[in-house]
Copies of this chain bind each other. A is one copy, B any other.
Amino acid sequence: MEIAQRAASGRKRMSRAEREQQILGVAEEVFATRGYQATSMDDIARRVGLSKPMLYEYFGSKEGLLLACLERVRRELLEATTSAAAANAGDPERQLHDGLLAFFRFGEEHKQSWALLRTESAVVGAGLDTELEGFRTQQAEFTEEMLRVALPNTDPARLEAFAEAIIGACERMALWRENRPEITPERVTEHLMALIWPSLSAEVAAAHRAYPASHDQG
């Protein structure tokens, strides 16, 4: 009877790694479409074709499951932007441009993953020493590093501020163009570049005037 039931419902034994990925896929979809709060663990379990205690076995808590989903998405996003930028080492303008473009393309091509990131605030602040926080920090640090290369003589605090500002601008713009198919990733990148690049170029000159030695002679 039990065996028949299991066979009928299509449940099958799986290795831990497989199951984890399967669960993450389902959870990502459900969290993204229905929202974190409106989704119950029973619901996810049912869709996976598994019982609730298994979710707890693998992810510890509902928050832990969301965290795992977010970590996966953040890693993908970081990977997409860094590799796009890395392809243009030595040309700061193109580096920045292509990094931004990769960001907006990611939002377009992985709408569901992107939507998930909006639920991030539901869990940020809970555990600040999580791996997720690490990816968030890395995204900021990577941006900052890119700016440091372009503006070698600029006040470090200012570089940090610029990096945060750019990331904030990206996030909000990605949200803004979500329901506007006419605003392509290319166009929104162009807008953002128009807003910041002339300033950054000017900053190079200003920093250069402030500390000419290190650049001319170093």
Binding site for B on A (CB under 8 A): 35, 37, 118-122, 124-126, 157-158, 160-162, 164-173, 175-176, 183, 187-188, 191-192, 194-200, 202-203
Contacts and interface: CB of A to CB of B under 8 A. Distances in A.
A119 B126 CA distance: 12
B164 A172 contact: yes
Nearest to A193: B199
A182 B191 CA distance: 32
Nearest to A123: B37
Contact of A172 (B118, B167, B194): B167
Contact of A188 (B161, B173, B199): B161
A56 B210 CA distance: 61
26 contacts: A35-B125, A37-B122, A118-B125, A119-B121, A120-B121, A121-B122, A122-B122, A157-B183, A157-B191, A160-B176, A161-B188, A161-B191, A161-B192, A161-B195, A162-B195, A164-B169, A164-B172, A165-B169, A165-B191, A165-B192, A165-B195, A169-B169, A195-B199, A198-B198, A198-B199, A199-B199
**Among A168, A191, A199, which residue has the most Cβ atoms of chain B within 10 A?**
A168
B162 A168 contact: no
A202 B197 CA distance: 11
